[in-house]
Amino acid sequence: MLKRSTGIIGLLICLTGGYGLKAQSQKWRSGIITDEFLYEKAAFPSCHSATIAETPTGLVAAYFGGTHERHPDVEIYVSRQVNGTWLAPVSVANGIQNDKVRLPTWNPVLYQVPGGELLLFYKIGPKPSEWWGMMRSSKDGGITWSEAQKLPEGQIGPVKNKPVLLSNGNLFCPSSTEGKGWKVHFEVTKDNGKTWRLIGPLEGGEINAIQPSILDHGNGKLQILARSRNRAIVESWSQDNGETWSALAKTSLPNNNSGTDAVTMKDGRHVLVYNHVLPPGDLAKGARTPLNVAISKDGKNWSAALILEDSPTSQYSYPAVIQTSDGLLHFIYTWRREKIKHVVVDPSKLKLKKIVNGIWPKLKGYTAPVVTDVKNEE
């Protein structure tokens, strides 16, 4: 998990934000239809960890907001899109335990049951190593919600990224723990959260990974991509609908110890949204800018597709991505901890360029801004 900035730990060559925005507006932006904030003003100064789902009544987004991450006043907020406009954020969950104890909430994850309810998973606890899982549901696309329900002991639900419904009826929730080392596991339900079983944790040797996302290659073949402390996005593969998995291994793509997300599109291609940042030296942490999108046919060979943000001012992080029924891609992510950004993309309009040896390809006429601050955030 992340915590609020504790200050600047590095200062690199200064480049004006205006130049960066100009460059961004001209290059690596093909296919973008909408680029907007969910809100301009809110009752909370800081926000993070957004999730998005398509419901029968429209798009719904959730995220946590409050004074800052880990503060007891942090609550789960929901924004609904009605007739193309995002309505004001509404608090739908908090960490109030009793008159004397209030704890922060964390990492909401939305999932729309096909033909059923909208599920909201989230966590309550003083820190990730001590949080527990909660769930609420909505029958009207996020307008009203059921009473909060605590998940069974030891279950936290999907830790950051959306569940995937497999052809055998299993709802696979990608999850992880941070208490005694970073470990990836899965929480599986066939009845939308009434009963659960656990798969994992996955073997990984020296690899420390959390917050996986699931790609479905068909015929029972699954892949996960996950955040790590190992300077690379890591992966694991299953050939039996997720019952057994290969040991975690590094991919060729860099990771700055920040969250990612991925989705398999209807045409079988896979979409990954992440910070394509290799930290300097042997550091695990790196700047959370730029925010990139890559596309792959096989989950191994990736092509550069988009740069959603490239300002030298960090951070743009904790992205989520879905493909809606009209075929469009929807990205949602933290914008400098101040707002939540929503970007809509037509995948048929993307211009791809192969990523070789983990290096984002150069594009004629585009110069990436030089990062001017690196914030010390977990």
Nearest Cα to 236, choosing from 286, 283, 176, 165? 176
Taking CA atoms, 30 is separated from 34, 176, 293, 348, in Å, by 12, 34, 12, 10
Nearest Cα to 278, choosing from 252, 304, 301, 303? 252
Alpha-helical regions (H) of 68-151: none
DSSP code at position 364 = T
67 in a domain, yes or no? Answer: yes
277 in a domain, yes or no? Answer: no
- Angstrom distance (rounded) from CA 88 to CA 100: 30
59 in a domain, yes or no? Answer: yes
Count: domains in the chain: 1
The residue ranges of DSSP E strands in 270-309, in sequence order, are 270-274, 291-296, 302-309
Expressed as residue numbers, the domain containing 116 is 32-157
Q: Are strands 353-354 and 339-345 parallel, antiparallel or unpaired?
A: unpaired
Q: Cβ distance 28 to 306 under 8 Å?
A: yes
Phi first, then psi, for residue 243 (nearest 5°) are -75, -35
200 in a domain, yes or no? Answer: no
Q: For 244-301, how does the pLDDT look when each residue is reduced to its tens digit (9 = 90+)? A: 999 999 999 999 999 999 999 999 999 999 999 999 999 999 999 999 999 999 999 9
Report the 10 Å Cβ neighbour count for 18.
10
Report the 10 Å Cβ neighbour count for 349.
10
Q: Cβ distance 162 to 332 under 8 Å?
A: no
138 in a domain, yes or no? Answer: yes
Q: What CATH number is associated with residue 129?
A: 2.120.10.10
What pLDDT, on the 0 to 100 scale, is given for residue 24? 47
107 in a domain, yes or no? Answer: yes
298 in a domain, yes or no? Answer: no
Type of residue found at 223: Q
In sequence order, what are the residues at sequence separation of 6 or more whose Cβ sits closer than 8 angstroms to the Cβ of residue 276?
A: 253, 254, 290, 292, 294, 304, 360
110 strand-pairing partners: 120
24 in a domain, yes or no? Answer: no
Cα end-to-end span (Å), the chain: 6
Residues of the chain with confidence (pLDDT) below 50: 1-25, 376
91 strand-pairing partners: 77
What pLDDT, on the 0 to 100 scale, is given for residue 365? 77
